[in-house]
Amino acid sequence: MSLILITGVSTGIGRALAERFARDGWVVVGTVRDVAKMAGVEWPGDVRLEALDLAERGSGRALAGRVLATHGTPDVLVNNAGSLQFTPVEDETAESVEGLYRVNVFEPVDLIRALVPAMREAGGGTVVNVTSLGGRMVFPFFTTYNSSKHALEGYSEGLWHELQLSNIRVKVVEPGFVETAIWDKSVRSRGESPYQGTGPYREAMASMAAFEGAISNRSTPEQAAEEIRDAILDPSDRLRYPVAAYARPMLRARRWLGELRVMRFFHKRWMEA
């Protein structure tokens, strides 16, 4: 029976993806911050929970050790868990930047490095990194968040070359706009009250938050999970998979119109409104 390890399955895309693979008969090892809080959840198949807080240094490698010892070598690793940050760079601290990179880059990378030898020994596997539309484009006030996703994109492209030698496929999934709680914890909360940060950005941040809040035609986590499942099971050597609402058309527009023209368009829309 196939085994898939998915980080961040308490809500959103991770939860939907875990349920989808469980229904397909896979053994799913899913991570949550607090296993006890998930005690009442009924899963549609064999879902085994492990605690993981990516903000803790060494958490990725520690998880790999527990999974290998308890559940065996995953056929698929999905680095899905992450953190979102919506703020001007002037309002960030070195600690907040490092913290975001630890969650979105450092610990997922350590998790990969800890599992690859076991995957190689098992004959192969698939590593899937969930980045973002913002892993290909950068939006104002998401600068550090988007740059962390760019970092994971670059890391994944290098892995694509290196891990083919071990029959390990590498996939990058780039979600567009999905209806998940991560937005409520960041952008929408900022949009509900006047932004109190660095003065020059107040109006532009309000404009950006209003734009985000007006997007109603989002993909559901379940719709995104279906697309991600197809990407995971794709036996080809394709690397990047834009999924969910607006991801593909926005990337096509950037390619056809040129990145500078698209940057100017969005700058005027968001920063000069």
Interatomic CA distance for residues 192 and 195, integer angstroms: 9
Interatomic CA distance for residues 269 and 46, integer angstroms: 47
**pLDDT average, residue stretch 208-228:** 89
- In 44-98, at which residue ranges do the beta strands (DSSP E only) sit? 47-51, 76-79
Comparing CA positions, the residue from 177, 187, 204, 10 lying closest to residue 85 is: 187
Is the residue at 55 inside a domain?
yes
CB-CB contact of 133 with 247 (8 Å): yes
Is the residue at 191 inside a domain?
no
> Is the whole model's pTM more than 0.75, yes or no?
yes
Is the residue at 208 inside a domain?
no
- Domain range for 240: 3-180+218-246
Q: Which CATH number covers residue 169?
A: 3.40.50.720
CB-CB contact of 14 with 173 (8 Å): no
Three-state DSSP state, 117: helix
Is the residue at 54 inside a domain?
yes
pLDDT digits (tens, 9 = 90+) for 224-267: 999 999 999 999 999 999 999 999 999 999 999 999 999 999 99
Is the residue at 78 inside a domain?
yes
Query: In which element (H, E) is residue 70 found?
Result: helix 59-70
- Reported as a pLDDT band with limits 50, 70 and 90, residue 200 is confident
- Reported as a pLDDT band with limits 50, 70 and 90, residue 182 is low
- pLDDT at residue number 187: 55
Instruction: Give CA separation, 42 vs 39, 203, 220, in Å.
Output: 8, 44, 20
Instruction: Give CA separation, 240 vs 16, 26, 104, 171, 174, in Å.
Output: 21, 24, 18, 6, 7
- In 111-231, at which residue ranges do the beta strands (DSSP E only) sit? 125-130, 168-175
**Pairing assessment for the beta strands 125-130 and 3-6 based on DSSP bridges:** unpaired
Q: Which residues make beta-bridge pairs with 32?
A: 51
Is the residue at 272 inside a domain?
no
Q: How many domains does the chain have?
A: 1
Is the residue at 203 inside a domain?
no
* Higher-pLDDT residue of 186, 43: 43
- Catalytic residue chosen out of the listed positions 101, 145, 195, 201: 145
pLDDT digits (tens, 9 = 90+) for 5-38: 999 999 999 999 999 999 999 999 999 999 999 9
Helices (H), 195-234: 202-214, 221-233
Is the residue at 185 inside a domain?
no
Tokens standing for residue 222:
């379940």
Query: Catalytic annotation on 145?
Result: yes
State how far Cα 140 lies from the chain centre: 19
